[in-house]
C-alpha cells in the first residue's frame, strides 16, 4: 500500500501547510468511521430508536467522545513512533504477551469480518432476494479484489465515497419523516435509562470502540508521510490528525444519530418493535414508501462493503505487525493476513444457519478481546521508552485508562447478558 519513511528528508525538505492543506490529511479518520457505522451498529441503533424513541441518543454522544480520545491516542502512537500498534506490541512487550494479544486480535478481526460480510449479504438479500451464502461470497470476492488491486489512496477515496452515500441516504430518509427536534436535543445531552434499556445501551456503547479500528488507525495514519526528525513537523501532523479524527468521528456521530432518529420517528411512533435489519427494511416500505426501503438497503450494502474492506486492512496490519513489518498489500504477510480474516469468516458463514445469531456471537468475541487491545494501547502510549517526549501526560493516561475501564465493563456486561 505505502512504504514507511524512516528518518527521511535529510536534505531539508519541509512540507508546506497552506489553508487548504488540511484536506490532504482528511481520510484515515473516515476509514475508522466506517467501523463506527457498520451493520452491527445499525441493528443496535434501530433497536434503540424503535424501543425508546429519542431517549437513548445520549449514548451516541458519549460513545463518540470516548472514541475520539482513544482513536486520537492510537494515531498519536503511529505518528510519534512510525510504528503501528501491532509492530509496537512486538517490539516493546514480552513475546508471550504480544503474541497472545495479537493472536486474539486476529480472531477478533475474523469475527469483525464475519459481521461485516453478513451485513453486506443481508443488504443483497433485501435488494435482489439473493441467498445469504451467495451474497456473502460476492461481498468477500469484491473486497478481496479491492484490497489486492488498489493502492491505499484509491481505497481511501472509495471509502469516502461509501461513507458519503451512507450519509446522504440517511439524510434522504430523514427528509421523509417528522422529527421531534426538541426531544432529540434533550436526548443527545441527557442520560436516561428507560426500563429494560440496559442491554441496548451496553450493546451500542460497548461495541463502538472495536479492536480492529485501533490497530487500523495507527497504521493508516502513516499514509501521510512526514519527517520524524523535525519536531515542528510532528506537532503539525498531530494537529491535523486530531482534526481529521474529530471531523470523521462527528460524521459517524451524525450517521448513528440519524439511524436512531429515523427509527424513533417511524417505528417508535407506530409502536413497532424491530429485531432484525431485514425486518426494518420491510417495515419502512409501508411507512415511508418503496423508495425509502430501497435507499435503506443500498446504504446497508455500502456500509457492509466499506466496513469489510477496513476489517481486511486491519487484519493485514495485525498479521504483518506480528513479523515486525508495516502493512503493505504487496507483501506476503499483509496479503495473508487479509486472506485469513476474510476467507475464514466466509467459511464460518457457510456453516451458520441463523445470520442474526452469527452477528451476536461475533460481537461476543469482540467484547472479550477489546480490553486487551485498549490497555495494550494505553500502556504503550504512556511509556517514555516507546513515545519519548510524546508520551501521555498523567492526566491523559488515567483518563484513557478510565475510558478503557468503562468500555471493558460495558463489554463484559454485554457478554454476560447473552447467557
pLDDT digit string, tens, across residues 219-246? 988 876 555 666 777 777 777 888 889 9
Average pLDDT over the chain, rounded to an integer:
86
Q: Is residue 2 part of a domain?
A: no
Q: CA geometry: angle at 351 spanning 350 and 353, to 5°?
A: 100
Range of the domain at 246: 21-417
Report the CATH number that the domain containing residue 226 is assigned in CATH. 1.20.1740.10
CA–CA gap between residue 89 and residue 377 (Å, rounded): 9
Domain count, the chain: 1
Whose CA is closest to 133, among 382, 371, 346, 378?
346
- Residue 11 domain-assigned (yes or no): no
**Residues 81/179, Cβ–Cβ less than 8 Å:** no
| Residue 269 maps to a domain | yes
Q: How many helices (H) and strands (E) does the chain have?
A: 17, 0
The band of 3, judged by pLDDT with boundaries at 50, 70 and 90, is very low
User: What integer is the mean pLDDT of 115-119?
Assistant: 91
Query: Which residue pairs, CB below 8 angstroms and at least 24 apart, start in 343-352?
Result: 343/140, 344/110, 344/113, 345/110, 345/111, 345/113, 345/114, 345/117, 345/140, 346/117, 346/136, 346/137, 346/140, 348/110, 348/114, 349/114, 349/117, 349/118, 349/121, 349/132, 349/133, 349/136, 350/133, 350/136
Q: What is the pLDDT of residue 198?
A: 80
Structure-block grid coordinates of residue 52: 425508546
| Residue 99 within any structural domain of the chain | yes
The model carries a pTM of 0.87
Amino acid at each position: 500500500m505505502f512504504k514507511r519513511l524512516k528518518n527521511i528528508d535529510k536534505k531539508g525538505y519541509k512540507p508546506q501547510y497552506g489553508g487548504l492543506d488540511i484536506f490532504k490529511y482528511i481520510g484515515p479518520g473516515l476509514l475508522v468511521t466506517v467501523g463506527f457505522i457498520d451493520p452491527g451498529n445499525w441493528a443496535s441503533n434501530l433497536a434503540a430508536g424503535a424501543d425508546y424513541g429519542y431517549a437513548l441518543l445520549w449514548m451516541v454522544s458519549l460513545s463518540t467522545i470516548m472514541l475520539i480520545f482513544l482513536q486520537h491516542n492510537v494515531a498519536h502512537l503511529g505518528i510519534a513512533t512510525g510504528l503501528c500498534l501491532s509492530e509496537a506490541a512486538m517490539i516493546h512487550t514480552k513475546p508471550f504477551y504480544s503474541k497472545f494479544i495479537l493472536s486474539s486480535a486476529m480472531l477478533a478481526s475474523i469475527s469483525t469480518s464475519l459481521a461485516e460480510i453478513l451485513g453486506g449479504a443481508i443488504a443483497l438479500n433485501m435488494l435482489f432476494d439473493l441467498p445469504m451464502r451467495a451474497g456473502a461470497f460476492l461481498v468477500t470476492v469484491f473486497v478481496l479484489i479491492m484490497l489486492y488491486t488498489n493502492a491505499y489512496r484509491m481505497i481511501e477515496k472509495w471509502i469516502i465515497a461509501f461513507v458519503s452515500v451512507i450519509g446522504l441516504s440517511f439524510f434522504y430518509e430523514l427528509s421523509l419523516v417528522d422529527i421531534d427536534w426538541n426531544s432529540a436535543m434533550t436526548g443527545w445531552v441527557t442520560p436516561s435509562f428507560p426500563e429494560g434499556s440496559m442491554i441496548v445501551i451496553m450493546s451500542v456503547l460497548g461495541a463502538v470502540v472495536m479492536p480492529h479500528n485501533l490497530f487500523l488507525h495507527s497504521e493508516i495514519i502513516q499514509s501521510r508521510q512526514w519527517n520524524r526528525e523535525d519536531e515542528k513537523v510532528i506537532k503539525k501532523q498531530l494537529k491535523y490528525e486530531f482534526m481529521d479524527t474529530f471531523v470523521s468521528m462527528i460524521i459517524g456521530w451524525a450517521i448513528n444519530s440519524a439511524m436512531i432518529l429515523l427509527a424513533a420517528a417511524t417505528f417508535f411512533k407506530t409502536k413497532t418493535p424491530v429485531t432484525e435489519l431485514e425486518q426494518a427494511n420491510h417495515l419502512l416500505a409501508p411507512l415511508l414508501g418503496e423508495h425509502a426501503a430501497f435507499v435503506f438497503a443500498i446504504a446497508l450494502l455500502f456500509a457492509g462493503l466499506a466496513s469489510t474492506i477496513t476489517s481486511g486492512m486491519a487484519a493485514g496490519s495485525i498479521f504483518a505487525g506480528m513479523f515486525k513489518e508495516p502493512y503493505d498489500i504487496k507483501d506476503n504477510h499483509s496479503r495473508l493476513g487479509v486472506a485469513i480474516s476474510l476467507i475464514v469468516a466466509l467459511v464460518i458463514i457457510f456453516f451458520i444457519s441463523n445470520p442474526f445469531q452469527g452477528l451476536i456471537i461475533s460481537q461476543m468475541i469482540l467484547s472479550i478481546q477489546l480490553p486487551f487491545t485498549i490497555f495494550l494501547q494505553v500502556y504503550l502510549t504512556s511509556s517514555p521508552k516507546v513515545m519519548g517526549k510524546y508520551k501521555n501526560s498523567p492526566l491523559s493516561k488515567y483518563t484513557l485508562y478510565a475510558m478503557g475501564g468503562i468500555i471493558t465493563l460495558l463489554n463484559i456486561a454485554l457478554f454476560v447478558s447473552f447467557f
